[in-house]
Each structure stands twice: as structure tokens, then as C-alpha cells.
Structure 1
């Protein structure tokens, strides 16, 4: 694992899930641990929602990461990737949470994986405030 822990304030900018998705994706690709706090602080329901939880779990599986604070409603997580692998991943958001937003975290890491990656995600495909599946 390279470098010291990077700290990211999740309330920066629009204060939604995008900063979380970008932070964990870059953490996995660069193998730099990250602590994200104030997750989705500017939303009416702050903290991790099921689709965010599922996206981080999938990325953790792909990068053999150790994650703390990973539960619905959590305002803070620490993500410590160990290395990008490959294989088949299957995750279910358990809700209609956006699969395309989950893919936003996974795709950069998949591009840098040492082996082929196949992903199956269950959730919503055409959600409000998220890119539709046809976008991909």
C-alpha cells in the first residue's frame, strides 16, 4: 500500500455521492488509502445509501480493500486497497439504487485491473438524477 491516508471531506462541492465514488475509485487505482467523512452531508438523507454501500463493497472486492464504517447511514468510511485483481463480481443493491452510479466507481478500477473483470449488478437502470443505462 503506497502513501499515507488521504482525507476527503464528502460535503465539498455538491455534497452528494459523486465525491465518494471518485475518492474510492482513485484510491483503488492509485493504491492510496482514503478516509471520506461527511458523506453526502448536503443531502436530505445524508450518509451512505444502499447503492453507495454496494458500490463500495464491489470496489473493495475488486481491490482487496479493507473498509471500515461500511453500513447504511454511515457518514464516514476508511478504504484501504491492497491491489487490483480480476474475476467475476456479483452484487445486489437490494433496492432500485442506480447501477450506473455503482459502475462509475468500478469502471476506472476495472480498466487498471491485472486480470479480466466481469461484473453483475442488480438495482435500478433508469433512475432520477442518475445516468440511464443507455448512457453507458
Structure 2
């Protein structure tokens, strides 16, 4: 089992979020410890638990130790089947960071993924809804047959109350974990090439 030290670098939640989707794409289990050790209040927060619960709903995975404040979990990935899900984080927890974890997984689902998430759309310390919509999603949406994002309502700290919907019709779900090589993915998709800086044309 892969061991991941959550105190590495800034010791924030991004280590766990990245580990979760990479575990599902590679189908390799992991144990994370010292989760968010670099934060004033270490351990899992409600938004991290909602991410884990959503992944369990969309896949046949299982987890050990997932509770609020926990510093360690074990995650055992399973097949990604997809589905429809509505999640209310219950706080101003970042919706874009939530979707950042679910988007790569959705691209490899066996069927459509339809996510509606309530929480914070523009929260300090995380990417904004506009960054997700206009920077991140355009760079990966060609990996899906269809990928749409709708910002239904804005939500800010500390109240939250924002809502976003992500719909993905995947095209990579037929690739088994052992087939998810760069070569095979490129056979299905045109690569994203950035070989010159270009000019600034518009600021949204």
C-alpha cells in the first residue's frame, strides 16, 4: 500500500484530494497520515468528508478512518461507475476544490456523471468558480464527449450557499487501469500543446 505523508510541503488538503483521484485512476490503494498537519486545525474537515463520500457513491471504493478531525485514512479504490449526485457541503467549503477532485474521476466513469454541489464558489485560499470554468475545465474537457459547468448561484465565506453543477459524458471509461497510459489516452484525444507564450487577448 502506498504511504502518503500529509504534512509534506504546506501540509494542506490538496495532498489528500490529489491522492484520492490518482488512486482511483491507477486503482492503487493508499494510506494517508498527518492529514492537513500544516493547518491550524489539522485533520479532515466536513468538505473533505463530503468529497470522500461522493467518491464512494460514484465508485465501488471503500475507506477506513474517514471521520471529522481524523489524521489518517486508508482508501481502497474500486471501479468508477458514475451517476447522479447532489451534495450540500453545509459550510462555505470550496466547490471548485471539490470538483477539482471529482472531475478527473468523472472522465474515466463508465456512464454519465451529473454533480450538483452547494457550498462556497469563491473562497479565500482556493481557486474561484471562474478559474475552474475558464482555465481548468477548458484544458481537460476534450477528454470527455461532453463536459459542462453551470454556476447557478454564488456563495462566499462564511455563509456559503453557492451552487454549481458539473455534467460529464465520459469517453475514457472503457480504458482499464492498466491501459491508462499516455499513449493510449492520446490515441483517443488530441494532445494539449503549449510551445509558445502567445499574446494576451482578453481578460474576463
TM-score, normalized by the shorter chain, greater than 0.5: yes
Q: CA–CA distance in 2 between the matches of 1:70 and 1:59?
A: 12
Residue ranges of structure 1 left out of the alignment (5+ in a row): none
Match of 1:49 among 45, 65, 76: 45
User: How many residue pairs end up in the alignment?
Assistant: 132
2:14 to 11, 15, 18: 18
Instruction: Report if the CA contact (8 A) 1:59-1:105 is conserved.
Output: no
Higher radius of gyration, 1 or 2? 2
Correspondence for 2:35: 39
Where relative contact order (Cα < 8 A, 6+ residues apart) is larger, the structure is 1
Q: How big is each residue's C-alpha offset from its partner over 1:3-27, in whole Å with a ceiling of 9 and x where there is no partner?
A: xx21111111110001000001101
Asked if the contact 1:100/1:133 (under 8 Å) is kept, the reply is yes
Structure-1 residue corresponding to 2:160: none
Q: Is 2:94 the partner of 1:98?
A: yes
| Equivalent residues of 1:7, 1:35 under 8 A apart | yes
Identify which of 2, 9, 30 aligns with 1:6: 2
Separation in structure 2 between the aligned mates of residue 32 and residue 62 of structure 1, nearest angstrom:
17
Where structure 2 has 5 or more consecutive residues not aligned to the other structure, the ranges are: 133-204
Contact 1:28 1:59 in 2 (8 A): no
Q: Once superposed, which parts of structure 1, at least 4 consecutive aligned residues long, lie more than 3 Å away?
A: none
Once residues 34 and 62 of structure 1 are traced to their aligned partners in structure 2, the CA distance between those partners, rounded to angstroms, is: 18
RMSD of aligned C-alpha atoms? Answer: 0.9
